[in-house]
Amino acid sequence: MPSLEEKLNQSDAFLIGVELVSTRGTTADVSSVKAIKFGSDLAQSDRIDWVSITDNAGGNPMLAPAALGKPIMDAGKEVIIHLSCKDFNRNSIESQAWQLASEGFKNILTLTGDFPEDGINGMAKPVFDTDSVGLLTMLESMNKGLTISRGGSRKTIQLGGTDFYPGAVVTNFKLHENEVIPQYLKLEKKIECGAKFIINQIGYDSRKNHELIAYFKRKNLEHIPLVGNVYVLTGTVAKIFRSQRIPGIVVSDELLELSLEKAAAPDKGKSFFYELAAKQIAIYKGLGYKAAYLGGVHTLKGIERILDIYDSFGENDWKEFAKEILFSRPGEFFLLDEDPETKLANPDKLNPVYEASLVDPEATSNVNFSFRLSRFIHDLMFDQGKGLAKIGAKLCKNSADPSQGPKLLRTFEHISKSLMFECKDCGDCSLPETAFLCPESQCAKNQRNGPCGGTRDGKCEVHDFECIWGKAYDRMKYLGKDSELLAHSPVIQDQRLRGTSSWANSWLGKDHIAKRLNKKSESSTG
């Protein structure tokens, strides 16, 4: 049987994947038994190319996806295991990855993950030691074969490479420019760091779906298979999605109204919602996506009913369907202009308002005095090997504890950074890469490689303030450097530096920025 990788890359067939949501409890519990039965039905169906199994979906604890995935894989069906960073640190993720590789799982959907919700005796502590970009970097290293040393020994051991086929998610159904563009930049970063296939987030707007594949073409990313997400609505699900309780998923007021109207029918709108899903599959195929990924249906019968409707469509019907399924929100940002005839994106023309804004970028309230001052001071103090940075390195080297530097300077650093950035003393500072917004104190998930997918109309998924990456985008755009927003990634923070002086670590070449600069100068001189 060809693998998912082979099918996505070597065949012209349009593929169908189905989501299996993991359940809470052992495999003997009623809900798990149902999920296992659904998985087994999917494994037997020739119409399904793979089954994708969620990892603690919505931030709730569930049975590990491999437990549901193993029997499906053993039955000969391709399985995608979702692996997120919310509940595990990098070591635990690595253990999980070894276990998955040992059991024969190859297809991994890398995710930063939703913020944790309930757990036993209260909410769990969120981990986010790394993120989707960091995770892709880890899997790429494991595929190449890690070189490790044990217990400070100089001897190294070369581990055999794994054979992971990692994918990632992109979410472009966002409202504001400073959400959409950073998501596109992060998409590129994920591909650069090893994502081999991309699944888009749930949304109901053909123009945004077209814009995404047009973006792939503009960036020469057509070799990366794009999978279109289709979540089958009900009236209740539409209400939940409209409330934005599920981070990153959007239903417009217009679609909610239509869904509630249809849900009032005797079949609770099932025939309408199934047809809507079938039309979305047809649109994805027509637009050039490689596959559709169906969620929200929990029986094979339901899946087959949708696929029967889809099979009944003519080859070009999708063009009319695309004009029907255009549920964007008022004022929503599009990177590309609208094609007046198709109502989709014009692949060759940028949104003219956006294009004009690049010429003379606006100084929004995010481009404030604190930002300008921080840049000025940073340039003055941290030009490695020169001026104040040279003096700072000398002072730290000669101090009693070089990782803290001279006491007075350390106190000054602590007070000034706490006041300006709510610094948490992580010791591995990312401020110059995040346009001087601290990911430790101002980002609920400590995202150093770009925004998570959870913003709600510009606001953080977790807290009621503007996402730091939206603010950082505004600042970078003002400087004419918006395309460089994520040029620094991937960053995987060094936890060994926690509690030490970030100034000393920068001057002495110990933090990730200094190490990267040193590497760069070594490679350019050598």
CB atoms within 10 A of CB 515: 14
Query: In whole angstroms, how close is the CB of 455 to ligand SF4 at the nearest point?
Result: 5
Under the binding rule (CB under 6 A), the answer on residue 111 touching ligand SF4 is no
Q: Count of CB atoms within 10 A of residue 509's CB? A: 14
The Cα–Cα gap between 389 and 518 comes to 14
Torsion sign (Cα): 484, 489, 494, 495:
positive
Q: Is 173 in the site for ligand SF4 (CB under 6 A)?
A: no
| Binding residues for ligand SF4, total number by CB under 6 A | 14
Cβ proximity to ligand SF4, 39 vs 451, nearer residue = 451
Q: What H or E segment, with its residue span, contains residue 192?
A: helix 177-192
- CA-to-CA dists, residue 437 to 12, 127, 247, angstroms: 45, 20, 22
Strand partners, 119: 122
Segment contacting ligand SF4 (CB under 6 A): 48-56, 186-194, 330-338, 460-468?
Answer: 460-468
Distance of closest approach, residue 289 Cβ to ligand SF4, in angstroms: 26
Residues 434-453: x/- map of binding to ligand SF4 (CB under 6 A)?
Answer: ---------xxx-x---xx-
Q: State in angstroms the smallest separation of the CB of 30 from ligand SF4.
A: 35
**Beta-sheet pairing, 197-200 with 226-231:** parallel
Q: Rounded CA gap, 75 and 22, in Å?
A: 18
Bond before 352 cis per omega within 30 degrees: no
Does 109 engage in binding with ligand SF4 (CB under 6 A)?
A: no
Neighbours of 288 (CB within 10 A): 14
Interaction between residue 72 and ligand SF4 (CB under 6 A): no
Minimum Å distance from CB 236 to ligand SF4?
26
Task: For the beta carbon of residue 356, count every other beta carbon within 10 angstroms.
Answer: 10
Closer CB to ligand SF4, residue 96 or residue 455? 455
Q: Which residue's CB is nearer to ligand SF4, number 471 or number 512?
A: 471
Neighbours of 315 (CB within 10 A): 9
- CB of 435 vs ligand SF4, minimal distance in Å: 13
Q: Is 202 in the site for ligand SF4 (CB under 6 A)?
A: no
> Is the Cβ of residue 65 or residue 248 nearer to ligand SF4 in the bound state?
248
Q: Which region among 259-267, 337-345, 454-462, 518-526 touches ligand SF4 (by CB under 6 A)?
A: 454-462
Nearer to ligand SF4, 197 or 241 (CB): 241
Residue 246's contacts (CB-CB under 8 Å, 6 or more residues apart) are 58, 114, 240
Residue 167 or 451 having the CB closest to ligand SF4: 451
Closer to ligand SF4 at the Cβ: 111 or 462? 462
Cβ 450 to ligand SF4 shortest distance, Å: 8
Q: Which is nearer to ligand SF4, 202 or 468 (CB)?
A: 468
Q: What is the largest CA-CA distance in the chain?
A: 80
User: Strand (E) positions, 48-172?
Assistant: 50-53, 78-84, 107-111, 118-119, 122-123, 147-149, 156-158, 165-170
Is 404 or 447 the residue whose CB approaches ligand SF4 more closely?
447
Write the single-letter amino acid at 465. F
The CB-of-315 to ligand SF4 minimum distance in angstroms stands at 41
Task: Decide: is 69 part of the binding site for ligand SF4 (CB under 6 A).
Answer: no
Q: How far is the CB of 206 from ligand SF4 (least distance, A)?
A: 26
DSSP 307-353: HHHHHTS-TTHHHHHHHH-B---TT---SEEE-TTTSSEEEEEE-HH
- Indicate whether 454 belongs to the interface with ligand SF4 (CB under 6 A): yes
Rounded to the nearest whole angstrom, what is the least distance from the CB of residue 379 to ligand SF4 in the complex? 26
Nearer to ligand SF4, 48 or 443 (CB): 443
* 131 binding ligand SF4? (CB under 6 A): no
Report strand pairing: 336-338 vs 345-350.
antiparallel
Binding mask 461-500 for ligand SF4 (x = CB under 6 A): xx----xxx-------------------------------
Residue 58's identity, in one-letter code, is G
366 lines the binding site for ligand SF4 (CB under 6 A): no
**Residue 181 sits in the site that holds ligand SF4 (CB under 6 A):** no
Shortest distance in whole angstroms from residue 113 CB to ligand SF4:
10
Report the C-alpha gap between 282 and 272 in whole angstroms. 15
Residue 339 has which token pair?
A: 């094609």
Stretch of 252-260, 281-289, 412-420, 459-467 lying at the interface with ligand SF4 (CB under 6 A): 459-467
- Of the pair 133, 444, the CB lying nearest ligand SF4 is at 444
Could you tell me the smallest distance in angstroms from the CB atom of residue 194 to ligand SF4?
21
The closest of 97, 105, 109 to 168, measured between CA atoms, is 109
Nearest CA-CA partner of 258 in 326, 344, 332: 326
Cα–Cα distance between 526 and 524 in angstroms, integer?
6
Min dist CB 457 to ligand SF4, Å, is 11
Q: Please report whether residue 59 would count as binding ligand SF4 according to CB under 6 A.
A: no
Question: 198, 187 in Cβ contact below 8 A?
Answer: yes
User: What's the min distance (Å) between Cβ of 463 and ligand SF4?
Assistant: 7
Q: What is the binding site for ligand SF4 (CB under 6 A)?
A: 443-445, 447, 451-452, 454-455, 460-462, 467-469
